[in-house]
Amino acid sequence: MAELMRGAGIAAKTKRKFRQTIDPNHGLPVAENRLARTFDPDQTEAVWVADITDIPTREGRLYLAAVEDLLRRVALGGWMDQTMTSRLVVDALEMALARLAPTGFHLRGWWLIRIGGARTRASTTSGGWRRSGSRAA
């Protein structure tokens, strides 16, 4: 992501501490950790990872949702917006799917639970994908 941000001329204003943006008491189902921190998948399995980050700018906070193919180590999709909504997540996922849409792969990212909600869960399960979480959200 840092390389993409540099290429787009986007930079954070200052170094910052980790800021938790998720409510641990959200009450939504949490995906099983199928990958168990195995970030080097074999050639037979497609694994995409996803995350959201916030970028402080002079104009205010900017949110970036990104999807990366773990096997190829390439960014497949990303979307930026001034608000962190489910549309941000869906747009990033749709961009990734437009580039490469395998079936039967793991889609890992806590934001599927955090803000993707029912809309994203429905689209991933209907595609035959298996969701994986990295930690209790």
Global pTM reads: 0.58
To the nearest whole number, what is the mean pLDDT of the chain? 70
**Closest to 97 in 3D by CA, of 70, 122, 67:** 67
Which tops the pLDDT comparison, 13 or 8? 8
Residue 6 scores a pLDDT above 70: yes
Which tops the pLDDT comparison, 60 or 125? 60
User: Can you name the residues that pair with 54 across neighbouring β-strands?
Assistant: 63
Task: State how far the Cα of 54 lies from the Cα of 28, in Å rounded to an integer.
Answer: 22
Most confident of 27-41, 76-90, 110-124: 76-90
Four-way CATH pick for 2-18+28-132: 3.20.20.70, 3.40.50.1100, 3.30.1600.10, 3.30.420.10: 3.30.420.10
Task: List, for residues 22-57, the tens digit of each pLDDT value.
Answer: 666 766 666 677 666 666 666 556 677 788 888 888
Instruction: Tell me what pLDDT residue 5 has.
Output: 82
* Least reliable range by pLDDT among 56-60, 101-105, 113-117, 120-124: 113-117
**Closest to 46 in 3D by CA, of 34, 57, 55:** 34
Token pair for 124: 């991933």
